[in-house]
Amino acid sequence: MKTTFFLKKRVILGMILLFLSVSISLASNSILGKTHLPLSDAPANKTLAIEETTIPDCVEIGDLVLIDFLVDQSNLWKQPGLYNEHGAIYIGNNTLVEANGIVRFRDYSHFHEWQQNLVFLRVKTANESQKHAAVAWAITMVGSSYQNFFDFPWFGFKIADTTLPIKSAKKIYCMELLWAAYYQQGIDIDRNGWMIPCWVTGNDILYDDDIEIIYQEINHSTEISKPYKGIFCFNRKILYNPFFTMIIGNIDIIVNTANEHITRVDFYIDSVYKATDTTPPYVWRWEEPCFGKKLITAIASDDIGNSYQARIKVMKYF
């Protein structure tokens, strides 16, 4: 009995020391103080030539577009769920206004090149005058500074009044731009309203009652939903953080997809095949003890030979 008690104490103490050592390491690298590149401006996402793509015929001035990026899930900007990572407002002539580095004009071809999933939304409660006014307001914001969602102390706190005498009022992030453009016209397209923490995500706009979907593409919806950005202790998430994923002990790796044609998911650790599951949600229990950095890869295959990959870097102990 005493042996078991002391063994548990040693495991708990080891976990605490491990967490502290990682936290100190992260702090020494000044994660919160770094300038995090907007995802679509990161060098790995630049291409020499972008194929010209025309906006869908159903899209009108004032409509909104949300996309997911083609990056692995360890990326700081990656968010769970469909259409939750970047957005812009359509102003006509195959052109969008986005907040990405600065508020800027962007040809639709760039958006289509970056995306792995894409949806166009319409603010169904807005009349034509309000839609054009929202576009006009967004255009006046071109050249404004970018509000980094991870910057202390304001993070993603949304502000519609750019004249307020605080620093973040002069800055704006992508989803805040879409929300503020219509908030200025008396329409709140954030499903959470002003609930704390008072920031707005792509899913907050997507699922608001003022919004309807007019066009969507689901090209690659496979994602690892667990483990994901946090600290997991013996298969339970005990702490969320956006910067890394740590696993202590055994864990269920869970993969989700919105693609109805997926028939199997293969699981890999550091490129070594481990298991296959053929029924959703796709799950594999990772029980092998290990120490340090690992790469989880899930490859989903459909019934016509296509495959889609999701990856996340983790640290695993025991």
302-317 pLDDT, tens digit per residue, is: 988 889 889 999 999 9
Pairing of strands 307-317, 272-277: unpaired
Q: What is the DSSP letter of 33?
A: G
Q: How confident is the model at residue 183 (pLDDT cuts 50, 70, 90)?
A: very high
pTM metric for this prediction: 0.74
Of residues 179 and 149, which shows the higher confidence score? 179
Label residues 187-212 b or e (16+ Cβ within 10 Å = b).
bbbbbbeeeeeebbbbbbbbebebbe
Asked if residue 314 lies in contact with residue 290, where contact means CB atoms within 8 angstroms, the answer is no
What number of CA atoms fall less than 13 Å from residue 266's CA on the CB side?
A: 11
Mean pLDDT, the chain, rounded, equals: 83
Q: What is the pLDDT of residues 99-120, one digit of tens each?
A: 988 999 999 998 888 888 899 9
Class of domain 223-317: mainly beta
Asked if residue 286 lies in contact with residue 227, where contact means CB atoms within 8 angstroms, the answer is no
Cα 275 from Cα 284, distance rounded (Å): 7
Length of the chain: 318
Query: Of the ranges 4-13, 16-25, 127-136, 161-170, which is most confident?
Result: 127-136
Q: CB atoms < 10 A from the CB of 278, how many?
A: 10
Token pair for 201: 């995500």
Q: Supply the pLDDT for residue 111.
A: 82
Q: Supply the pLDDT for residue 151.
A: 65
What does CATH list as the number for 39-218? 3.90.1720.10
